[in-house]
Structure 1
Amino acid sequence: MRRGRELGIALLGRKKLADVRQILWLDVTITIPVRPGQILHLEHLTSDVPSFKLIVGLEDKVRFRSVRLHSGDAPVTVNSLTATDVDIKTSNFPIKGVLTAKKSAKLVTENSPIEVDITTNGGEFHDPSMIVLDTANNHLDAVVRLESFEPRGLNVQATTSNGPMNVTIPYAAWGSHLSYKGSTSNADATIELPSTFAGTINLEGSKFSSLVSGYTDDPTGRGYKSKMKSPRLNLYQVWYKSEEELDLSRVELRTQNGAAQGLILGADSSWRPQKDRALP
Structure 2
Amino acid sequence: MLELRNVVKTYANNVRAVDGVSLQLPAGVVGLIGHNGAGKTSLMQMIATLTRPTSGQILFDGTDIVSKPDAIRGRLGFLPQDFGVYPNLTALEFLQYFAALKGVCDPARLRHLLETVNLHEHANRQASGFSGGMRRRLGIAQALLNDPDVLIVDEPTAGLDPEERLRFRHLLAEIGFRKLVIVSTHIVSDVENMASHLAIMRKGRLVAYDTPDSFVRDARSQVWSATVAQRDYDALRARVQVLQAQRSADAVNLRIAHPSSPCAGAVLVEPTLEEALMTRRYAMQESGELAA
Q: Which TM-score band applies after superposition, normalised by the shorter structure? A: under 0.3
What TM-score do you get using the length of structure 2 for normalisation?
A: 0.27
Higher RCO structure (Cα 8 Å, ≥6 apart):
2
TM-score when normalising by structure 1: 0.28
